[in-house]
Structures are given as C-alpha cells and as structure tokens.
C-alpha cells in the first residue's frame, strides 16, 4: 500500500470517527425557522430563559413564580389547566406537598387505557441550580411543541395529557401523587418524559417497561425520528443502575411503559449554579424537540394497549440504516454462528498456510501486553491526575469542566501505547493474519458473556462478523484493497467510537479505564487496516504528542476560575440544647472563602457528623466552634400512649411548628430498628430505613405548613429524637452575616448547603 493511500485511509478513518459523533444530533439551526407553523428553537429558548431566571426549588418564592408562568403559557394555548396539590411521603422518607400542573388535549376518539402522557418537571435542584437544562429544556420543548401542533391543526385520536410535575428533584413526589391520587392516571397507556443530566450532548433514549420492549422498539422505529439515539445497551445499563426518573413511578406503580429522553454531557453543570440559559447546548434542545415532534403525533394516534409484549429486542442506531433491531432470540444463534465462522477460518488458515502457531502466540503476547498496560493506565492514570489536581475531589459528579480534554488525552495515550507495542514490521502476511486471531477470540468471548448476562449489548457481535469477513479477505489476498477493509470497519467505528467517550461522561472520569480498554478493542477489530502500516512507531509518536497537548490543555484549565468555579460549602449549625454553634463544611479542601470560618485543624469530634439526605450521602468534613446565636426554635408538642394492640409499643404524636422560614426539616432517631406506623400529616411511610440513627423523615417545607407526625416505637430502651431545621438563607438572613462568594466559586451541589441549621434533641417519654 502506497504512502499516499495510507495517508488518505487515515484521513478517511478520522472522518468516519467524526461522523460517528456528528450524525447523532441535529445542528443548532435545525429548527431555525420562526414561522408560526414551525417549531422554533428561538421561541423555545425564551421559555428556558424565563423559567431559569433564578433557582426555583420546591417551597421557594421563585418556584411559585415559575408555576404561575407555566399555567399562563398553557392557558395561552387554549388549554384548560388545573393544579394538583397533595401531601406525599415516599418510600425513602421524603415528605412534602408537591403541586403539579396538568392539562389535557382531548382526542377525537379516546379509549380506555390509551391516553398519552407528556411529562417533565418544573422544580430545579435544591438549592442553587437555575435548572435551565434540568428541566426548563423539557418545559420549553413541550410548550413550543404543543403550540406548533395546535397551529398545524393536527387532530389526534388519543387524549394527550400534559403534566409538569413538582418535587422531582427531591424524591419524585409530584409524579407519585399524580399516579396514586389523580383520576387521569388510570387511563394512561404510555409516558413520554423529557429530562437532562448535564447541559449538553446528544439526547439518549431510554425505554422503561416491566415487560418486553419489542413493541415499543417497533413503534419507536415507526415514528421515523430523524436522529434516533437509542440502544439496547442503554436499556440494559439503566436497568441495573439505581437512577430513576418520574417515569419510573408510573412503571412501578401502574405498570405503564415510558420513553424518556435525556442529554448527559457537560455533566459538571448538573445540579449546579451553572445550569443556566447561557450554558444550555442549543443542539441538545433541538434533539429533544426532534423527539417530541415525531413521537407525540405518532403515539397520539396509536393503540397504546398494543405496546405490551413479553418479547425483547436488541436495537441500536446506525447512520444510513438509521435504526436496527432484532429479537433476543437471535442472540445465541448469532454468537454460535460467529464461533463456527471463527473456527472454520482458523482451520482454513492453517490448511492454506495463512496462519502460524508462532504468529498467533506472538499476537496473543502483544495484545495481552497492551491490555494489561491500558487497564493499568486507565485505573492509575486518573488517580495520578487526582494527585496532581487534588481539588477535583470537590466535583461530586466525578466529571470536571476539562473532562473532555482528559478523555482525549487518554485516548491519544492509548493509541500511542498500542501502536508502540505493535510497531514491528511484518515480513510476511502470515504474521499479519495471525495477530488478528487474539482480538477476534477476545471479542467472541465478550459476546458470549453478553449473550448470557447482558443481552442489551448483543449488537456488539455485528462488527465481529465484518471483522471475520476481513480475516477471510486477508487469507485470500496478499495485498487486500485497503478501502474495502475500511468499509468493513465502518460498523465497528460507528458503534464503538461514541462509547469511548460515553462511559466517563455518564459514570465519571474514574471510568477512563473503560475508555482505554475500548480503544484497544476497537483497534483489534480494525487491525486489517493498520497491519500494513510500516511506520507505526511514527503514529505512536504523533499520538504521544497529541496526548501531551491535551494534558497541557487540561492542566491549563484545571485551576478554578470564573469560568470553572470551585464548588464549596458552608453551613451554620446551632445546637439549641447545648447552646453551642459551629461552622461546618462538606469540602475536602478549604479555600480562601471557607478559611474565613474554618481552620485546617477543625475536628469533627467537636460536633455530631450527621449525614443529611443527599445524592452521595455526604457528611461534614470540617466543624469549627463559633458564637451561638439564639435563632427561633420550633414549637414542639408531644403526646404518647401505650399501644393497646401491639403490646410493648408506645404511640407518639408530635406537632412541630417552625418559628422561622425553613426549607427543610430532618428527623432522626438514635434507634429505629423497631420503628413502625410512621405518618406525616396523614401520609403513611410504607418502607422504613433500616440503619440506626438514619433520617427516617426529610420534610421539604411548603407554605409554612405544620408537621403532624405520628409513629410507634418499642419500649425496650429510651429513645431520643433529633430535629434539624434548615433554611437556605445563610447569605441573606438577620442572624449571621456571611459575605458573598468570590466569583471563582459556587455553592456545592447535592448537599445541604448555604444553610442555617438548628438542632433540637428531645427525649421521648
């Protein structure tokens, strides 16, 4: 193969990799027309801008403003709108009074269990997120999408129910009151839910169902979505992860299937003060819109009852073919056929002297060395980056603002290592062919495991078939056509290239070991292309230079700045019983702001390290005694009596009335192994936390409600109840005076932050 041809092949390979990403989403101008009959991204963005003007978590004044705005916008669309408000105590002990916004577009021929629900939430994450992506983007797509459909005067057979749920961010409480208490929930056949877990990137499609997915997958394909990013890999991954959305509540409680769409890139913005209108990726919004404009008209005219089946499909998106699917029943035969083909080719190769035992052995050693090296690099390389940049520990999401540079760096380093290990020139085609056996064998082992344990990824076998055909060509031709080999490598490129980036984005940069491993596995499938490159050491050197470039790029953006703000935390905790107070922080590293209140010698033994309910179960790391301020404490009234039915138990009834504007109340017992019959304002908790001194109730206050709590406790030993009241007004209150943060800092998300917390401890009679 001539040098110029090799260069063109390399350029073509890079172009294909680029296309594997660029073809996933529409451009930001995809919905650029502002004509009334067309969906307009400009109009949708105006909704985002309005909703995301300020943080609007449940119970805040801004939250009420957003609700009023949404009601008015739905009314402008000539829809009859109502709100649903009710108390809800979920299985995790989170109690609040969400208020959903609900409307209906009547269908021309509705039938039972056939209503289509379009869903997103309107509360932002507690306490400082502006919620532009999560989930003002969903609100905007639905509002502009409904407007577009009404202007186009499209008629739909099914009723379309619109629900802007509340309290999603604290525990899916709004979805739960809709499912359990709203009469319209009884007639829903399918849920379409819009979400976000970052501020950019392609929007992934997730199917939630208690049964098989086959009919849902067929319907998704029939909806003719222009950019259908959907794979059964994600379907299987989501099933084993602890994450859930509002749609999960419908599946678990009413057996209602759903599609939900979420973009997850720029994960460092998730739930932070940087989830703003300006940082929302316009392409991501356009991608969400494309789902809405094709899914809603299709499913609003579909018999939703027909979507139930026991059969599952393997499915994945692919350019040109658009969307590929086949039954799970094909998985085992396809893997078996691939093994037969592989064994047959090996027999043929030895008979025709196209393979050698020595060459296969050398190929195994090279691939094994590359495998061990890259796993080591992926695991310990990121740990080295953490040693170089200890401040990264403050990003609880696990993905830094320069995370994409690190992904590129580790990809380039992987390429450098691979090509260095494979730098030797081949004197005869036998070694070239023999080296291909090891990656093919490993891929077949992987697909065998997938067929048994993780069927959603079974489409990984398809590039293996193309690779087996490439091996056949290597056997048949001494100088195979490089363009044909590139053509046969396209399935591997389009299927695996996006995954190299996906896992560290979705699961955090600690998963860079998956990136390095996938680089090697993809190289293995593309071996026929690279086998005839004689100057692999030059490619290795260039990749190493690129690695250095991305390392420098990452490091120059590693320090916190106004563009890349440091998350930090500070709370004032007053122990009313002991008349002591503390400055507390969740940070691992103190900065110039927190050092005004805390010292490096602050010891946690100075106060109880309570782990308040949070996404990552974070506890205080620093606590510094400070001046005690007499902050108004809650009025608490306790009544008790011996349980006449369950002997040995005492029934307690508490009335707790906050005397200041609080956002949250946390209740803990020093023992709860025998805690039963928990009720809050009449709502029953069906599942109780099992660990001792864990919060058994987290109350997000709405409208200054009184908390009426009742529970039963075994009379085996005395018990103490601790009540923590928190208001997210540390920077704006009449008691303590805390200056604003520096511009290169922001409130740390996922924890109880910027709060004044009071603790009252009560001995239960």
User: Looking at residue 694, what is its pLDDT?
Assistant: 66
Rounded Cα distance, 349 and 343, in Å: 10
CB 41 within 8 A of CB 33: no
- The yes-or-no verdict on residue 684 having pLDDT over 90 is no
Q: Which residues pair with 120 in a beta bridge?
A: 164
Buried b (16+ CB within 10 A) or exposed e, 467-500: bbbbbbebbeeeebebeebbebbbbbbbbbbbbb
Residue-wise DSSP of 106-164: --SS--TT-EEEEEEE-PPPTTT---IIIIIHHHHHHHHHHHHHHHTT---SS-EEEEE
User: If you average pLDDT over residues 68-80, what whole number do you get?
Assistant: 97
C-alpha gyration radius of the chain = 29
Residue 712, SS3 per DSSP:
strand
CB neighbour list of residue 491: distance below 8 Å, 6 or more residues apart: 318, 462, 463, 466
User: Looking at residue 604, what is its pLDDT?
Assistant: 67
- 605 pLDDT band, cuts 50/70/90, is low
Rounded Cα distance, 516 and 411, in Å: 6
Rounded Cα distance, 720 and 669, in Å: 6
Q: pLDDT tens-digit profile of 721-752?
A: 999 999 999 999 989 999 999 999 999 999 99
Rounded Cα distance, 133 and 275, in Å: 6
Residue-wise DSSP of 551-565: HHHHHHTTS--SSSP
Mean pLDDT of the chain: 93
Q: Where are the domains of the chain?
A: 3-20+331-556, 26-318, 564-765
User: If you average pLDDT over residues 122-147, what whole number do you get?
Assistant: 97
- The yes-or-no verdict on residue 600 having pLDDT over 80 is yes
Q: 377 is written with which tokens?
A: 């690099």
User: Looking at residue 610, what is its pLDDT?
Assistant: 62
- 611 pLDDT band, cuts 50/70/90, is low
Q: 343 is written with which tokens?
A: 């064994």
Rounded Cα distance, 426 and 449, in Å: 33
How much is the pTM? 0.94
Rounded Cα distance, 242 and 697, in Å: 21
Rounded Cα distance, 166 and 67, in Å: 9
Q: Say whether the peptide bond before residue 43 is cis (omega within 30 degrees of 0).
A: no
Residue-wise DSSP of 30-52: TT----TTS--HHHHHHHHHHHT
* CATH tag, 26-318: 3.40.630.10
CB 266 within 8 A of CB 280: no
- The yes-or-no verdict on residue 606 having pLDDT over 60 is no
533: nearest Cα among 17, 10, 13, 15: 10
CB 112 within 8 A of CB 304: no
Rounded to the nearest angstrom, the gap between the alpha carbon of residue 131 and the centroid of all alpha carbons in its chain is 15
- The yes-or-no verdict on residue 171 having pLDDT over 70 is yes
Angle (CA) 478-480-482 rounded to 5° is 145
User: If you average pLDDT over residues 206-229, what whole number do you get?
Assistant: 95
Rounded Cα distance, 239 and 209, in Å: 10
Rounded Cα distance, 536 and 539, in Å: 5
User: Looking at residue 154, what is its pLDDT?
Assistant: 85
User: Looking at residue 669, what is its pLDDT?
Assistant: 86
- 693 pLDDT band, cuts 50/70/90, is very low
User: If you average pLDDT over residues 36-50, what whole number do you get?
Assistant: 96
Tell me phi and psi for residue 51, to 5 degrees: -70, -35
Q: pLDDT tens-digit profile of 557-581?
A: 999 999 899 999 999 999 999 999 9
């Amino acid at each position: 193969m001539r040098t110029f041809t090799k260069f063109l092949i390399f350029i073509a390979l890079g172009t294909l990799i680029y296309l594997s990403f660029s073809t996933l989403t529409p451009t930001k101008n995809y919905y650029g027309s502002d004509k009334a009959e067309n969906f307009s991204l400009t109009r949708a963005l105006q909704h985002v801008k309005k909703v995301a003007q300020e943080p609007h978590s449940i119970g805040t004044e801004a939250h009420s403003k957003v609700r009023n705005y949404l009601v008015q916008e739905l009314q402008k669309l000539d829809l009859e709108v109502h709100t649903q408000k009710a108390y809800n105590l979920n299985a995790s002990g989170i109690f609040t009074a969400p208020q959903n916004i609900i409307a209906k577009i009547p269908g021309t021929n509705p039938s039972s269990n056939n209503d289509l629900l379009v869903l997103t939430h309107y509360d932002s994450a507690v306490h400082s997120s502006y919620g532009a992506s999560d989930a003002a983007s969903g609100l905007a797509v639905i509002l502009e999408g409904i407007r577009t459909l009404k202007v186009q005067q499209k008629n739909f057979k099914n009723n379309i129910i619109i629900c802007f749920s509340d309290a999603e961010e604290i525990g899916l409480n709004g979805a739960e009151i809709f499912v359990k208490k709203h009469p319209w929930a009884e007639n829903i056949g399918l849920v379409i839910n819009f979400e976000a877990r970052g501020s950019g990137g392609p929007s992934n499609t997730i199917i939630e169902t208690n049964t098989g997915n086959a009919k849902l997958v067929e319907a998704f394909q029939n909806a003719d979505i222009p950019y259908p990013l959907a794979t059964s890999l994600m379907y299987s991954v989501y099933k084993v992860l602890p994450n859930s959305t509002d749609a999960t509540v419908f599946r678990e409680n009413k057996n209602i299937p759903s599609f939900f769409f979420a973009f997850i890139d720029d994960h460092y913005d998730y739930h932070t003060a940087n989830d703003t209108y300006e940082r929302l990726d316009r392409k991501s919004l356009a991608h969400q819109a494309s789902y809405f404009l094709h899914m809603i008209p299709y499913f609003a005219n579909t018999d939703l009852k027909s979507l139930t089946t026991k059969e599952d499909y393997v499915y994945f998106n692919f350019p040109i073919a658009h969307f590929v699917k086949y039954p799970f029943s094909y998985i085992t035969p396809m893997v078996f056929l691939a093994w037969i083909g592989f064994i047959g080719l090996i027999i043929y190769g030895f008979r025709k002297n196209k393979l050698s035992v020595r060459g296969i052995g050398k190929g195994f050693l090279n691939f094994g060395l590359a495998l061990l090296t890259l796993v080591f690099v992926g695991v310990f390389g990121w740990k080295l980056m953490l040693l170089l940049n200890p401040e990264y520990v403050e990003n609880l999401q696990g993905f830094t603002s320069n995370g994409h540079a690190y992904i590129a760096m580790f990809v380039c380093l992987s390429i450098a290592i691979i090509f260095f290990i494979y730098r030797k020139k081949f004197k005869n085609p036998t070694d070239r062919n023999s080296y291909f056996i090891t990656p093919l064998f490993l891929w077949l082992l992987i697909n065998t495991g997938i067929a048994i344990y993780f069927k959603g990824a079974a489409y990984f076998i398809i590039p293996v078939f193309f690779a087996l055909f490439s091996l056949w060509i290597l056997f048949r031709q001494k100088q195979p056509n490089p363009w044909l080999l590139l053509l046969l490598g396209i399935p591997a490129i389009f299927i695996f290239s996006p995954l190299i980036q996906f896992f560290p984005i979705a699961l955090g940069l600690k998963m860079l070991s998956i990136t390095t491993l996938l680089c090697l596995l993809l190289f293995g499938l593309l071996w026929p292309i690279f086998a005839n490159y004689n100057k692999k050491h030059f490619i290795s050197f260039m990749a190493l230079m690129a690695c250095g470039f991305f390392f420098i790029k990452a490091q120059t953006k590693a320090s916190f700045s106004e563009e890349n703000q440091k998350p930090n935390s500070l709370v004032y905790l007053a122990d009313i019983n002991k008349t002591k107070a503390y400055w507390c922080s969740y940070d691992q590293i103190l900065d110039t702001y927190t050092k005004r209140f805390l010292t490096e010698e602050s010891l946690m033994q100075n106060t109880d390290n309570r782990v308040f309910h949070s996404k990552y179960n974070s506890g205080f790391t620093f606590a510094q005694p400070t001046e005690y301020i007499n902050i108004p404490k809650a009025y608490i009234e306790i009544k008790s009596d011996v349980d006449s039915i369950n002997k040995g138990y005492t029934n307690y009834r508490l009335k707790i009335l906050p005397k200041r504007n609080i956002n949250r109340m946390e209740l803990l017992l020093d023992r709860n192994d025998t805690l039963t019959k928990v009720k809050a304002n009449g709502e029953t908790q069906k599942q109780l936390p099992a660990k001792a001194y864990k919060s058994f109730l987290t109350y997000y206050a709405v409208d200054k409600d009184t908390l009426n709590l009742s529970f039963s406790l075994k009379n085996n030993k005395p018990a103490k109840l601790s009540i923590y009241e928190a208001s997210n007004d540390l920077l704006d209150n009449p008691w303590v005076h805390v200056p604003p943060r520096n511009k290169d800092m922001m409130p740390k998300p996922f924890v109880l932050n910027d709060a004044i917390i009071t603790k009252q401890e009560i001995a239960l009679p």
